Amino acid sequence: MLTFCPICANVLVVEEGPKCLRFACNTCPYIQNITRKISHKKYPKLKEVDDVLGGGEAWENVDSTEEKCPKCDHPRAFFMQIQTRSADEPMTTFYKCCNMQCGHRWRD
């Protein structure tokens, strides 16, 4: 937690005083003794993550192939290929298990 000087608005540093810890300003003579535990948690608001593969609609009209699911051993999986790196490298194949209870996704 950052605390600012009320006189010059610079960040206060924590230093050891004669009897207790205190906030002190490095640019002016302001000092404030710390008499109680100071804590404050503020969690940042996370952005919504975009699905790189296009969300659930992207898997609606894809083909399936004989690929064994590593999670449930189902023999078939849906697949799509996307160019994720530079053009001189091969495409990445993404799989989704055909078993609707599993729905595991992986890439090759």
- Report the CATH number at residue 62: 2.20.25.10
pLDDT of the residue at 29: 92
> Could you tell me the residue range of the domain that residue 73 belongs to?
56-107
Is there a domain that residue 47 lies in? no
Indicate the pTM of the whole model: 0.50
pLDDT of the residue at 69: 92
Is there a domain that residue 50 lies in? no
Is there a domain that residue 48 lies in? no
State percent of the chain over pLDDT 90.
33
3/31 same-domain check: yes
pLDDT of the residue at 100: 85
pLDDT in tens, 47-87: 887 666 666 677 778 888 999 999 999 999 999 888 888 88
* Residue 103 predicted with pLDDT over 90: no
Confidence of residue 17 (pLDDT cuts 50, 70, 90): confident
In 11-91, beta strands by DSSP E: 13-16, 21-24, 31-33, 63-65, 77-82
φ and ψ at 17, to 5 degrees? -95, -170
Report the distance separating Cα 67 and Cα 77, nearest Å: 6
Classified as helix, coil or strand, 24 is strand
Is there a domain that residue 51 lies in? no
1 vs 63, more confident: 63
Is there a domain that residue 29 lies in? yes
Count of domains for the chain: 2
* Residue 19 predicted with pLDDT over 70: yes
10 Å Cβ neighbour count for 25?
20
64/22 same-domain check: no
